[in-house]
Structure 1
Amino acid sequence: MTITEVSVRFDLSQDTLRYYERVGLIPRVNRNKSGVRDYTEESCKWIELAKCMRLAGIPIENLVEYCVLTQQGDSTIVARKNLLVEERKKLVIKMDDMKKTLERLNFKIDRYEKAEVTGVLSWDM
């Protein structure tokens, strides 16, 4: 797959894909005879993982570490698992915080919708 095809498939800019490769977030992508990046399904799996984890807010540095550990083989299984467990803990906390924020927003929106009907908005915080 070309970088253009991968960019469209994952809705990531070509610059982002190049950056991910340059910093080690995804393993080095093979190039064809002309020097053009030739993404394989394996490359795409790494990109999919990177995109998913980045959307969850996992720092690039931690994902790079995970990629490096993975490339080192089975001797790093425990380290990889520990890294993911730590990130999961952070994500659970973040999700709890986001849930509280969503509940607060829903409360506020509900109050404004009632105020639109009654013409009265009491205490707005």
Structure 2
Amino acid sequence: MVAMSLTETRYTISEVEARTGLTQHTLRWYERIGLMPHVDRSHSGQRRFSDRDLHWLAFVGKLRATGMSVADMVRYAELVREGEHTVDQRRELLEQTRREVRARITELNDALAVLDFKIDMYAKGTTAGKATRP
């Protein structure tokens, strides 16, 4: 860990990899496609990530977990960089993602109910005579 000042800690790309589980290749790619805000560099050109960068990466991880496309994540990052006047656009992007997540949760709950039914049926030994059903 490299301290840039008394109040601001900076992390090398290796440290960020260890903390986040993201590979160095992924971190560089995020920066290249505009998903990461400007990452500071040391005098020798090495990336130096801040705590704010780590928080952003955690948020991006949550967006990835929702199934949000990379294009939408990059668009969201662009909107953040553009400033406060984009709050409504950011909210709409997140609301759309939330609707999609809720729809997937509903689908998964339906699939889970079918699995529970079949598991219960097998556990009770009630499969006899039902050879035509999966």
**Structure-2-length-normalised TM-score:** 0.82
Query: What's the secondary structure of 1:39's corresponding residue?
Result: strand
Aligned-pair distance for 1:22?
A: 1.2
**Gaps spanning 5+ residues in structure 1: where?**
none
CA apart distance, 1:108: 2.3
- Residues 66 and 97, structure 2, Cα contact 8 Å, conserved in 1: no
How many angstroms does 1:37 deviate by? Answer: 1.0
Figure out how many residues of one structure are paired with residues of the other and give that number: 123
Q: Distance in 2 between matches of 1:62 and 1:81?
A: 12
Whether 2:38 is the aligned partner of 1:34: answer no
Q: Secondary structure at the match of 2:115?
A: helix
Match of 1:62 in 2: 72
* 1:119 to partner: Cα distance: 8.4
Distance in 2 separating the partners of 1:30 and 1:112: 58
Work out which of the residue numbers 14, 21, 29 in structure 1 matches 2:31.
21
Matches within 5 A, 1:105-120: 105-115=115-125, 120=128
Aligned residues: CA RMSD: 1.8
Q: Is the 8 A contact 1:112 1:121 kept in 2?
A: no
TM-score normalised by length of structure 1: 0.87
SS of residue matched to 2:42: coil
